[in-house]
Amino acid sequence: MIFSLVQDFADALAAMPREHPRQRILKLLDEAIRRDVHFIDRHPTTFFQCMWNTCWWYDCAEAAGHYDLSERTSAVVLPWEKPTDQRVSPLLARWRVVKEEAIPGFTWLRSLRPPALSLASAQRAVLRGHQDSVRAVACTRDGRRIVSGSGDKSIRVWDASSGRELLCLNGHKKLVTSVAISEDGTRIVSGSEDDTLRIWDGFSGQELLCLRGHEHIVNSVAISNDGRRVVSGSSDYSARVWDGVAGGRQLSFMRSGECSIICVAWNKDGRHIACGAIDSIARIWDTKNERELARLVGHKGVVTSVAWNSDGLRLASGSADKTVRVWDTKTGKELACLRGHEGQVIAVAWSPNGQQIASGSTDQSVHVWDGTTGCKLGEFRGYENGVTSVCWCGDEKIVSGSADNTVRIWHVGADRGLPSLVDHEFVTPTLAKLGHGLEWSRNGSCLASWSYDRTVRVWDHTTAMQFHCFRKHLKDVRGVSWSRGGGRLASWSDENVLYVWDMKSGRKLLKLSTGSAGVASVAWNRDSRYLAIGLQNGHVLVWDLASGKALVKMRAHKGQVWSIAWSSDDKRLATAGDEIGAIWDASTGEKLQALRGHTSYVTEVAWSPDDRHVFTNGWDDIRVWEPASGNCEKVIKDWRQNLILLARGDPPPQFQMQQHEIGSIVQAQNRNPVAWLVDRLDKIEVHLSGHAWAGRTESDHLFIVVLEGQSDARA
């Protein structure tokens, strides 16, 4: 049904004069549907939710507070500044009123922030269906069909106009590494980690041939322009040419020494192939006599992708060295080196007219370059993971595949869109950058976030707008801790420094150095005069914030102190580390009790409000202790429960957010879903109301959503 609606919109837009006063709004609605069409197809009840969270946020008055307006120019009229009859948000507001009257209490998830990628951007559609990384994309010459191959072992064929999935081809035993489609769309070729190539009927999906001969992973495949021959590159160090029509026999064999071939491409007349290898060299071969014609030397990393321009006189190559290079195919001379990506370049493609190059990278972006001058013409972002593949769909559209399991369609030359959304700056994660996180204040009025960009940001819960951004940290931030009243915030980082911030003024109150040991956990006492700091070397410091001095220092655990908590009277501290919990005199550092019994790491500790019990959470179970004697009074096997709620005696939340391929809100008692979220989130933190959740995407975009429609769902 939803795909029929997409076609109806396309037909209406085609028939509507460009000067029609409602044409702009119809285009926005069309773009919004295409963005989430596959999600809506799976969960039809989310249609209004998807449209609201995309369209309403595009030009509602509230959107202004979420964008960096310092980027605007005086000549630009932003969407929320347009007349009411030219905005889409009033339409959504009326729709909401009608829907709430027609279906009282209907359940949906309302986003408190605009999406990472606004409407009227270059993105035209998002195709969802793969259950793993999209490794390769290809497009027919007429641009009507798109083919994608994935780590889920499938090849899918899509209608480029409606986004509908036309075919799902299964047969490979391992992940699909590469796909290609003939110009007329009659043949599809796929390569796989199962060491085979397969040829499929492009319209019926029938497997026509399975080509065996490679002795290792087939990394790349390509079809000649006449559709009769196929070339493949493999980790067995060879490139092979096959008859793609009559029986699939091997026609040519080319070997590149002792290095895996990562990518292959045909030139226009089908006489030559280019291939890239792990030795950082691109090569050009004559397929008839199996002779190497040229070596293109210049890259400093694996050559991941190669592409010929339309006249065959130039070759583009992408590399793990983060560059795109353009070569003269006759002389082998390097004509240009295109720099701008912050991660490995995984894919390159020439536009059909030979004027532009598209490149995709692990930095989660697609760049468009002038193929002659090397100037960057545009940049597309919006992915939740690295870009693995790109191809052109005519001279104005680019199709890309990503490790976020999606295929996206982009319009080249589209408007830049809105100013930047106020958010953490995206930094390509590395193994050295271990994480980001979120934490609600104890009264639920604020949310603190920290990230790879070394900032700590504070957001208002009601409006979800940022009102503080703290930039003092010089290394990666590792955590934050709110004071009990929410008036102060502590943050710490890899430079072994802890800062204390005042929420009212936004000023830094204190900078504490912990010497050679990093901070692992922090707890505030009742009146926010003292900080208990657990260190990675097992020590605990009790710090007087007024004097800026450590009053108590004690060795609490052999390894890092995972968690620390004050008793309500501020006389005792409970700590968690190694396989034990412990209770201490906060003024002297004397150990009062060791809480032994866990068989694995103890990572969390909390006091009951009356101080009569201490709760510890380990990787094995939750335990309840009598602090005076150190006796374990109860063992709770479900270690996934919220320890703070358990210690306070609060009932468990009515709803929980689950993360699989998508997010869902389920009833805690029976696990029945009540709402779905199109984006998969990380570092999820539930608001104390139990009806709002904050999380971050892979691209570091902050999401805050509220469950609407339940009788007590207002956060």
% pLDDT > 70, the chain: 96
Residue 666's pLDDT is: 84
Decide: 397 and 366 in contact? Cβ < 8 Å.
Answer: no
Burial of 204 (0-12, 13-18, 19+ CB in 10 A): exposed
pLDDT tens digit sequence for 373-412: 999 999 998 888 999 999 999 889 999 999 999 999 999 9
Average pLDDT over residues 356-370: 96
Is a pLDDT exceeding 50 seen at residue 297?
A: yes
Inside any domain, residue 117? no
Residue 429 has pLDDT above 60, yes or no: no
Q: Are residues 543 and 622 in the same domain?
A: yes
* Containing structural domain, residue 465: 442-510
Same domain, 398 and 490: no
So what's the pLDDT on residue 71? 66
Q: Which two tokens stand for residue 121?
A: 């951007």
Checking if the pLDDT of 428 tops 60, the result is: no
**pLDDT higher than 50, residue 281:** yes
Q: How many domains does the chain have?
A: 4
> Are both 67 and 152 inside the same structural domain?
no
Q: Supply 84's token pair.
A: 């009411």
Mean pLDDT across the chain: 91
Is residue 420 situated within a structural domain? no
Is the predicted pLDDT of residue 441 greater than 80, yes or no?
yes
State whether 175 and 197 are in the same domain.
yes
Tell the residue number behind the tokens 């932003």, with chain if given. 78
Residue 351 has pLDDT above 70, yes or no: yes
- Both 520 and 492 in one domain: the answer is no
Same domain (yes/no): 137, 188:
yes
CATH value at residue 324: 2.130.10.10
Among candidate residues 470, 539, 464, the one with its CA nearest the CA of residue 511: 470
- Is there a domain that residue 355 lies in? yes
Please give the pLDDT value at position 75.
Answer: 74
Residues 602-626, mean pLDDT to the nearest whole number: 95
Any domain includes 116: no
Q: What is the pLDDT of residues 143-201, one digit of tens each?
A: 999 999 999 999 999 999 889 999 999 999 999 999 999 999 999 999 999 999 999 99
Q: Is the pLDDT of residue 417 over 80?
A: no
User: 138 is written with which tokens?
Assistant: 């290809």
624-648 average pLDDT score: 86
Highest mean pLDDT: which of 116-125, 310-319, 634-643? 310-319
Decide if pLDDT at 433 tops 50.
no
Note the pLDDT of residue 415: 59
Whether the predicted pLDDT of 701 surpasses 90: no
Residue 174 φ/ψ region, left for φ over 0, alpha for ψ in the -120 to 50 degree band, beta for the rest: beta
Kindly report, residue by residue over 65-114, the tens digit of the pLDDT.
Answer: 999 888 676 678 899 999 999 999 999 999 999 999 999 889 999 999 99
pLDDT number for residue 479:
93
Same domain, 482 and 344: no
Does one domain contain both 75 and 180? Answer: no
Considering the domain architecture, whether residues 323 and 192 belong to the same structural domain is answered as: yes
Looking at the domain assignment, is residue 425 inside a domain? no
Which of 23-32, 226-235, 297-306, 651-660 is predicted with the least confidence, judged by mean pLDDT? 651-660
Does residue 430 fall inside a structural domain?
Answer: no
Cα separation of 532 and 561, whole Å?
11
**DSSP strand E in 525-619: where?**
530-535, 539-544, 549-555, 563-566, 572-577, 580-585, 591-596, 602-607, 614-618
Q: For residue 434, name the pLDDT band (cuts at 50, 70, 90).
A: very low
Q: How confident is residue 681, by pLDDT bands cut at 50, 70 and 90?
A: confident
Average pLDDT over residues 587-600: 95
Q: How far is Cα 21 from Cα 248, in angstroms, rounded to an integer?
A: 56
pLDDT value of residue 1: 81
What CATH number does residue 478 fall under? Answer: 2.40.10.480
* Identity of the highest mean pLDDT range in 9-13, 232-236, 679-683, 707-711: 232-236
Do 516 and 493 share a structural domain? no
H helices present in 406-537, as ranges: none
User: Quick one: DSSP state of residue 145?
Assistant: E
Closest CA to 283 of 309, 257, 321: 257
% of the chain surpassing 90 pLDDT: 76
Q: How far apart are CA 539 and CA 584, in angstroms?
A: 12
Q: Is residue 70 part of a domain?
A: yes
Q: Which residue has the higher pLDDT, 413 or 481?
A: 481
> Do 89 and 141 reside in the same domain of the chain?
no
Domain boundary among 111, 139, 156: 111
Q: Looking at the structure, do residues 502 and 520 belong to the same domain, yes or no?
A: no
pLDDT, residue 55, reads: 96
Bigger pLDDT: 635 or 71?
Answer: 635
Is residue 409 helix, strand or coil?
strand
Res. 715: pLDDT tops 60: no
Confidence of residue 430 (pLDDT cuts 50, 70, 90): very low
The secondary structure element, H or E, covering residue 223 is strand 218-223
Band of pLDDT at residue 519, cut at 50, 70 and 90: very high
Residue 485 has pLDDT above 50, yes or no: yes
CB 149 within 8 A of CB 190: yes
Among 87, 111, 135, the domain boundary falls at 111
pLDDT of residue 713: 41
What confidence score (pLDDT) does residue 18 get?
86
Contact predicate 406/38, CB 8 Å: no
Q: What's residue 73's pLDDT?
A: 67
Q: Which of 53, 77, 111 is the last residue of a domain?
A: 111
Q: Taking residues 422-447, what's their average pLDDT?
A: 73
Residue 155 burial class via C-beta count within 10 angstroms: exposed 0-12, middle 13-18, buried 19 and up: buried
The verdict on residue 424 lying in a domain is: no
SS3 34: helix
